[in-house]
Amino acid sequence: MIEKGSFGYINKKKKRKIIMVVVIILIALAIFAVGLLLNKMSRANIFTVLAILCVLPWAKQLVALIVLFPYHSVSSERYERALNSIEVNGMQDLKLYTDLVITSPDKVMNLDFAVVGAGHVIALVGKSGQDVSYIREYLTNGVHQWGDFQVQIVTSEKLFLKEVERMQLRQVSEEDAERVDSYLRSLIV
């Protein structure tokens, strides 16, 4: 299973969705063919119904693929720079998530990185042209429902790395930290 927010997540997830779409189509065709062979080439049988029902999981996989398709995983060089900024900071228990495609009822959003921990959520907007104020408001409101974390959404990688390096510890309960972390992972497609 691919871990949400891990390096290379988007590319791996897209490959998996493509494979699943093809496999489901092949299964549906095989079921339909078996039904034709067992029923003297008549389509009026239960196998045809089962083949048609394969459309439901196929559509689910296809929708996920369509949502992910415009986005790409970050390069290994950029990922290493983000990891280094966490090491420079020196705080324990900071989590780096990458390749985030998150959804709200209104929009699909892309974040290249998110650092979570020490009472902070610092995220770097991925694809340009996104509504940064909407992303900021959506994540801030969601995170504040689960814990008293400071949320920063930045558009520049240089600023992101600087903010991570100079992040200061804010006291939050371990329970709030776990709930915020779980909430953010739940948003990832």
**pLDDT for 127:** 86
What is the spatial distance between Cα 176 and Cα 97, in angstroms, rounded to a whole number?
Answer: 18
What CA dihedral angle connects 97, 186, 159 and 75, to 10 degrees? 40
Q: Does residue 114 have a pLDDT over 80?
A: yes
What CA dihedral angle connects 69, 70, 75 and 79, to 10 degrees? -90
Q: Does residue 93 have a pLDDT over 90?
A: no
**pLDDT for 180:** 94
Question: How would you label 136-174 residue by residue, b for 16+ Cβ within 10 Å and e otherwise?
Answer: bebbbebbeebbebbbbbbeebeebbebbeebeeeebee
Q: Does residue 71 have a pLDDT over 90?
A: yes
Mean pLDDT of the chain: 93
- The pLDDT tens digits of the residues spanning 128-139 come to 889 999 999 999
Helix (H) or strand (E) holding 94: none
Q: What is the mean pLDDT of residues 54-79?
A: 95
Q: What is the pTM of this model?
A: 0.85
- The pLDDT tens digits of the residues spanning 24-60 come to 999 999 999 999 999 999 889 999 999 999 999 999 9
> Which of 11-20, 90-99, 111-120, 147-156 is the least confident region?
90-99
Q: What is the mean pLDDT of residues 56-78?
A: 95
What is the spatial distance between Cα 121 and Cα 162, in angstroms, rounded to a whole number?
Answer: 14
> CB of 113 within 8 A of CB of 74?
yes
Pairing of strands 108-117, 120-125: antiparallel
